[in-house]
Amino acid sequence: MTADLTVTTTSTSYPVVVQAGALASLPTRLEALGLRGALWLVCDGAVETLYAAPVAERLRGAGFVVHTYSVPPGDASKSSARLSDLHTWMIADGVERRDAVLALGGGVVGDLAGFAAATILRGIAVVQMPTTLLSMVDAAVGGKTGINHALGKNLIGAFHQPRLVLADTDTLSSLPPHALREGWAEVIKHGVIRDAGLFVELERIAEARGWDNARPGGLWDAADAALTATLSGLIRRAVAVKVEVVSIDEFERGERITLNYGHTIGHAVEQLSHYGLLHGEAVAVGMHAEARIAQLMGMCDGDLVERQAALIHAYGLRTALPAYDVDAILALTMRDKKVQAKKIRWVLPAAIGTVQVRDDVPEELLRRALQA
């Protein structure tokens, strides 16, 4: 068994498990954490039959009371209406403060169910059980929860740290190719912002496989058993970056802002697509645009931009900005959560493994980068 990672902040500490077959240990782990109240299992339609039903059966067999609620897949479920439905479901069925919410699925479920846990009865425990690559390496760790607003993505929410993160890498074998592809954006991001060795390892794998991104899942095929051990190791290394950053800065007052690399442009593009672009697809585009901004600012050279773009392409993602109006993109960036004193705080790469936060990017330079 691989040793658990641990998030340790001033307010809490909890294990992060990245392991094949991890879901089988859920009853034992809940017992060890003292979570013996009713369990409110929230999933989406994509995992309801595959994973939610077996998990609920295993928990009931161990003596737990389990309630299950399924939401439609997709960002549309991160809404105030869906949050209200969850609150009504739990209140009507007698939720108590000793209970726990189990979030089983991708980032949408994790954000929505986590926010429901943060707000019901002024907060009950939540356990995050991500089943997508993107949610494993990013969304499930760190306690960010929330829903979207008509004026922007993730603008309503709360920090609510989980009691446990249980990432079962076996669940990746059932991901559709596009969902596997989008997760690589966050893995690559973690290499750019903090772990140059991870970035080089991703390049090494791409080189060994001929930089061939023609596979349905990009460079990777989750059903390729020969790659399973390597895949789990890469995921764990990427998760370790998030664990380290959150442990330093729980509430995004400093270091944690670096995790938003690619997200300022990415969130704008995602919203303009009416969420037709997946989150990771939009982040990949945002990373390329923001690397161009860094190049124009004289912070990095063209080699960094080209290496990053080549790696993004190798893992099946694109870097080209969709044909959206530049003014519309810039207007949405001003609603970004990182805006401070009416200035956008941009996370920009200085070298592979190192980023800086800048609030002095001229608008004309932004336009040049986006138009390019």
pLDDT digits (tens, 9 = 90+) for 89-118: 999 999 999 999 999 999 999 999 999 999
At 162, is the secondary structure helix, strand, or coil?
coil
- CA 137 to CA 150: how far, in whole Å? 27
Average pLDDT of span 340-345: 85
Is residue 28 within 8 A of residue 57, CB to CB? The reply is no
CA distances from 91 to 85, 104, 117, 125, 160 (A): 10, 20, 12, 15, 20
pLDDT value at position 178? 86
State the catalytic residues.
Answer: 122, 144, 186, 242, 252, 256, 260, 263, 267, 279
Q: Which residue has the higher pLDDT, 113 or 179?
A: 113
- Ranking 133-142, 286-295, 338-347 by mean pLDDT, the lowest is 338-347
Q: How does residue 317 score in pLDDT terms, banded at 50, 70 and 90? A: very high
Q: Which residue has the higher pLDDT, 237 or 340?
A: 237
Average pLDDT of span 52-73: 97
Q: How does residue 211 score in pLDDT terms, banded at 50, 70 and 90? A: confident
pLDDT value at position 219? 52
- Domain boundaries of the chain, sorted by first residue: 5-174, 181-215+250-371
Question: pLDDT tens, 248-266?
Answer: 999 999 999 999 999 999 9
CA 107 to chain centre: 6
Residue 121 clears pLDDT 50, i.e. is over it? yes
- CA 242 to CA 107: how far, in whole Å? 15
Which strands form 164-168's sheet, in the order they lie side by side? 5-8, 13-19, 164-168, 125-130, 100-105, 39-44, 66-71
pLDDT value at position 227? 60
DSSP-H helix ranges across the chain:
26-33, 53-61, 80-92, 107-119, 133-134, 177-193, 196-208, 228-248, 263-272, 279-296, 302-314, 326-333, 363-371
pLDDT value at position 214? 54
Six token digits for residue 296: 């124009």
Q: What is the mean pLDDT of the chain?
A: 93
Q: How does residue 339 score in pLDDT terms, banded at 50, 70 and 90? A: confident
Look-up of token digits 């750019």: 192
Average pLDDT of span 277-282: 95
pLDDT value at position 1? 47
pLDDT value at position 182? 92
Average pLDDT of span 170-195: 93
At 199, is the secondary structure helix, strand, or coil?
helix
Measuring CA to CA, which residue among 214, 262, 236, 245 is closest to residue 9?
A: 245
CA distances from 43 to 71, 309, 339 (A): 6, 34, 33
Is residue 126 within 8 A of residue 152, CB to CB? The reply is no
- CA 123 to CA 230: how far, in whole Å? 38
CA distances from 143 to 44, 88, 165, 370 (A): 20, 23, 10, 32
Q: How does residue 210 score in pLDDT terms, banded at 50, 70 and 90? A: confident
Average pLDDT of span 186-208: 95
Task: Fold for 5-174, please state it.
Answer: Rossmann fold (3.40.50)
pLDDT value at position 34? 97
Percent of residues, the chain, with pLDDT higher than 70: 94
Q: Which residues pair with 67 in a beta bridge?
A: 40
Measuring CA to CA, which residue among 220, 18, 245, 274 is closest to residue 143?
A: 245
Note the pTM of the prediction, 2 decimals.
Answer: 0.92
pLDDT value at position 2? 63
Task: Fold for 181-215+250-371, please state it.
Answer: Dehydroquinate synthase-like, alpha domain (1.20.1090)
